A and B are shown apart, each in its own frame.
Chain A
Amino acid sequence: MTVQTERPASRPAVVTKDPGGGPVKRDSRARRARLAPYLLLLPAVAVTLIFLGWPVVKDLSLSFQNLNMRQLIQHLTEWNGISNYKAVLTSEDFWRVTGRSVAFTAVNVVSIMVLGTLVGLLLARLGRRMRVALLTGLILAWAMPVIAATTVYQWLFAQRFGVVNWMLDAIGFHSMAEYNWSGGQYSTFFVIIVLIVWQSIPFVAINLYAATTTIPKELYEAASLDGAGPWKSFTSVTLPFLRPFLFATTFLEVIWVFKAFAQVFAFNEGGPDRLTEILPVYAYIEGMGNQHYGLGAAISLLTILILLGLTSYYLRLVLKQGDDEL
């Protein structure tokens, strides 16, 4: 993203190239017009490059250092080549956490997209009053700050006096009366997944509903003239129309869920026994918690690479888009 200034501007008609000096005023104005977009973009780009680029570069440099508590306190820089990467990539833990992260992301994103789409389609079918009521409910869940939502879920699933355990007991699952949800890997993940899906459905559903309202009615009429039933008109009209939207949303959800540090950490700090650590939590606990800063940085960079890998297909599509589509 280099800033190129020596190029014809949006209005080449104003550009004057008079070797003998020419109308100075027009010339300077033309140059200003040429430079204007870059000057307008400069502050935003500069701030982003500095405060985003700097940590990435720092992360990269840390990942090649032997940096633990001692080096940190004494401000020592000890380069150790690729040994952090070697240590991470040969550790069983890292691969276990990576597999867990990918599975966690997959379960969440599939649930979010399927349920969100169904709720969005339902919104389109409801009467006005019911729709407003459901929209309000969705917006409440959506607007809950993540940490507040996490504490609420801790309370809903509390071992004693938690309303979920009471309800399970009441409908006949008496063994659940004092169930400790944060005591096991799968039960902890279950609560975190319910929490994330609950908070993520609204975004998908509301936007999908908004998108369906823009589908031209004629398309459905044409489909029914061709003898298409409800299912056929869904697959031949609605789905193709929504495909770009579903694609973009899936991509966003993959990014968001993969980085879901706050929910996992605030719910149980990756516990019990570090069994619910996903990559960002793992990097944090190895790096900050156990004070292996260089190792943590290497894990961070590998996490970024994995995230890029997961989203590369979509990024390629964006890069291929024509200029006028952007």
Chain B
Amino acid sequence: MKGSLFGRFWPNATAVVLIIGFVFPVYWMFTTAFKPTGDIISETPVWFPTDATLEHFRTAVAADHFWTLVRNSLTVTILAVVLSLILALAGSFAMARMRFKGRRGFIIGFMIAQMAPWEVMVIAIYMLVRDNDLLNSLIPLTLFYLVMILPFTVLTLRGFVGAIPKELEESAMVDGCTRPQAFRKVILPLLAPGLMSTSLFGFITAWNEFPMVLVLNKAPETQTLPVWLSSFQTNFGDDWGATMAASSLFAVPILVLFVFLQRKAVAGLTDGAVKG
């Protein structure tokens, strides 16, 4: 008896400590964003904000180019994710369902492409983009983000396609569907969770990307949110309220998506991400 009580106490106590450790920074970001400045710069921390204010959010939103940056970030991210899904659907179907010479080579090729050290290649990318007169444009960003997330999307979707029983497709083809029709009517609907989880991770990668925008788009109105956020403190001094409000605005879309999709997103990961 004592053993089992003991056996349950420690895991639970550890879990509580861990939960606090993982949640606290996120909690602190949100609460700071809502606290009046007096509460933020107080000698003893104010753990629970009593009178919330939207003042910091107003400061953040009123910053130069804020809405342009939101639009830039959304445009680049969504375009890259949608394009990668289209290209990856075709490729992953071929790799999961067909046997052909060089299949293994393609898979290993995508695995290696997934490791590409983009952060390291910014100098070369800068030269290429400059030579083609595309600095301060969203086009190169979109294309490079597309290639950044494509290998992961192909490999993960391949796992999802492979998990759909072949018989479903074959019976649709026996019933008179052509292969493309069978794909559209049978496989595509069943792929919904896979599409969601891959697009979520693609979204995060592109939404987060930092070094490339930093180098390619120096004009403030052509940048994206991560660069703006990283310089926010430089621009606003030690205005932690505004900085945390900006961080919250940047983080909320992802946090909401993630919490909504968590079960489906996480289920597919062990297969795709870890293998690749």
On A, residues with C-beta under 8 Å from B are 1-4, 7, 9-10, 34, 36-38, 40-41, 43-45, 47-48, 51-52, 54-56, 58-59, 62, 119, 122, 125-127, 130-131, 133-156, 158, 160-161, 163, 166, 198, 201-203, 206-207, 210-211, 245, 248-249, 252, 255, 258-259, 261-262, 265-266, 279-280, 283-284, 287-288, 293, 296-297, 300, 303-304, 307, 311, 315, 318-319, 323, 326
CB-contact partner of A143 in B211, B246, B254, B275, under 8 A: B254
Which one of B62-70, B163-171, B188-196, B266-274 is at the A interface?
Answer: B266-274
18 sampled A-B residue pairs with Cβ under 8 A? A1-B106, A1-B109, A40-B98, A41-B106, A45-B106, A47-B87, A47-B150, A48-B151, A130-B11, A134-B18, A140-B255, A151-B230, A152-B28, A163-B28, A166-B44, A265-B230, A288-B126, A300-B124
Question: Digit string of B82-115 for contact with A (CB within 8 Å is 1, else 0)?
Answer: 0000011011011100111111111111111101
B240 nearest in chain A by CB position: A155
Q: How far is the CA of A203 from the CA of B258 in the complex (A)?
A: 13
List residues 112-148 of chain B with CB under 8 A from any CB of chain A. 112-113, 115-128, 143-144, 146-147
On B, residues with C-beta under 8 Å from A are 8, 11-12, 14-15, 18-19, 21-23, 25-26, 28-29, 32, 40-45, 87-88, 90-91, 93-95, 98-113, 115-128, 143-144, 146-147, 150-151, 154, 204, 207-208, 210-211, 215, 226, 229-230, 232-233, 238, 240, 243-244, 246-248, 250-251, 254-255, 257-259, 262, 266-267, 269-270, 273-275
**Chain A residues within 8 Å of B226, by CB:** 145-147, 262
Q: How far is the CA of A58 from the CA of B126 in the complex (A)?
A: 10
- Taking a contact as CB atoms under 8 Å apart, the answer to whether A52 and B94 are in contact is no
Q: How far is the CA of A160 from the CA of B202 in the complex (A)?
A: 37
Q: How far is the CA of A68 from the CA of B125 in the complex (A)?
A: 16
Known contacts A207-B266, A262-B119, then 11 further A-B pairs from the complex at CB < 8 Å, ordered by chain A residue:
A37-B100, A44-B88, A56-B121, A133-B15, A134-B18, A147-B210, A147-B250, A155-B28, A307-B117, A326-B107, A326-B108
- Taking a contact as CB atoms under 8 Å apart, the answer to whether A134 and B204 are in contact is no
CB-contact partner of A140 in B22, B247, B269, under 8 A: B22
Q: How far is the CA of A58 from the CA of B132 in the complex (A)?
A: 13
Q: Closest approach, in angstroms, between the C-beta of B226 and any C-beta of chain A?
A: 4
- Taking a contact as CB atoms under 8 Å apart, the answer to whether A59 and B124 are in contact is yes
**Chain A residues within 8 Å of B87, by CB:** 43-44, 47
CB-contact partner of B208 in A141, A146, A280, under 8 A: A146
4 closest Cβ pairs, A-B complex: A143-B258, A59-B124, A137-B22, A40-B94
Q: Closest approach, in angstroms, between the C-beta of A325 and any C-beta of chain B?
A: 10
**Chain B residues within 8 Å of A51, by CB:** 143-144, 146-147
**Chain A residues within 8 Å of B255, by CB:** 140, 143-144
Q: Closest approach, in angstroms, between the C-beta of A54 and any C-beta of chain B?
A: 6
DSSP majority for the B interface? helix
**Chain B residues within 8 Å of A262, by CB:** 119, 208, 210-211, 226
B30 nearest in chain A by CB position: A152
Q: How far is the CA of A52 from the CA of B207 in the complex (A)?
A: 19
Given A41-B95, A146-B210: A259 and B119 within 8 A (CB)?
yes
- Taking a contact as CB atoms under 8 Å apart, the answer to whether B127 and A151 are in contact is no
- Taking a contact as CB atoms under 8 Å apart, the answer to whether B240 and A161 are in contact is yes
A201 nearest in chain B by CB position: B22
Q: How far is the CA of A249 from the CA of B103 in the complex (A)?
A: 24
A255 nearest in chain B by CB position: B115
Q: How far is the CA of A53 from the CA of B105 in the complex (A)?
A: 16
Q: How far is the CA of A322 from the CA of B270 in the complex (A)?
A: 20
**Chain B residues within 8 Å of A248, by CB:** 274-275
Given A134-B19, A137-B22, A288-B123: A266 and B117 within 8 A (CB)?
no
Q: Closest approach, in angstroms, between the C-beta of A201 and any C-beta of chain B?
A: 8
- Taking a contact as CB atoms under 8 Å apart, the answer to whether A158 and B150 are in contact is no
- Taking a contact as CB atoms under 8 Å apart, the answer to whether A48 and B258 are in contact is no
- Taking a contact as CB atoms under 8 Å apart, the answer to whether A266 and B210 are in contact is yes
- Taking a contact as CB atoms under 8 Å apart, the answer to whether A4 and B102 are in contact is yes
Q: How far is the CA of A255 from the CA of B50 in the complex (A)?
A: 44
* Listed residue (B94, B103, B115, B246) with the most chain A CB atoms within 10 angstroms of its CB: B115
- Taking a contact as CB atoms under 8 Å apart, the answer to whether B94 and A261 are in contact is no
B8 nearest in chain A by CB position: A127
CB-contact partner of B117 in A137, A154, A259, A326, under 8 A: A259
Q: Closest approach, in angstroms, between the C-beta of B81 and any C-beta of chain A?
A: 14
Q: Closest approach, in angstroms, between the C-beta of A292 and any C-beta of chain B?
A: 10
Q: Closest approach, in angstroms, between the C-beta of A114 and any C-beta of chain B?
A: 14
**Chain A residues within 8 Å of B147, by CB:** 47-48, 51-52
Q: Closest approach, in angstroms, between the C-beta of B4 and any C-beta of chain A?
A: 12
Q: Closest approach, in angstroms, between the C-beta of B80 and any C-beta of chain A?
A: 11
**Chain B residues within 8 Å of A125, by CB:** 11
- Taking a contact as CB atoms under 8 Å apart, the answer to whether B207 and A145 are in contact is yes
B246 nearest in chain A by CB position: A151
**Chain B residues within 8 Å of A153, by CB:** 25
Q: How far is the CA of A52 from the CA of B113 in the complex (A)?
A: 8
- Taking a contact as CB atoms under 8 Å apart, the answer to whether B243 and A36 are in contact is no
Given A4-B101, A47-B150, A307-B117: A122 and B15 within 8 A (CB)?
yes
B128 nearest in chain A by CB position: A58
A133 nearest in chain B by CB position: B19
B40 nearest in chain A by CB position: A161
Q: Closest approach, in angstroms, between the C-beta of B15 and any C-beta of chain A?
A: 5
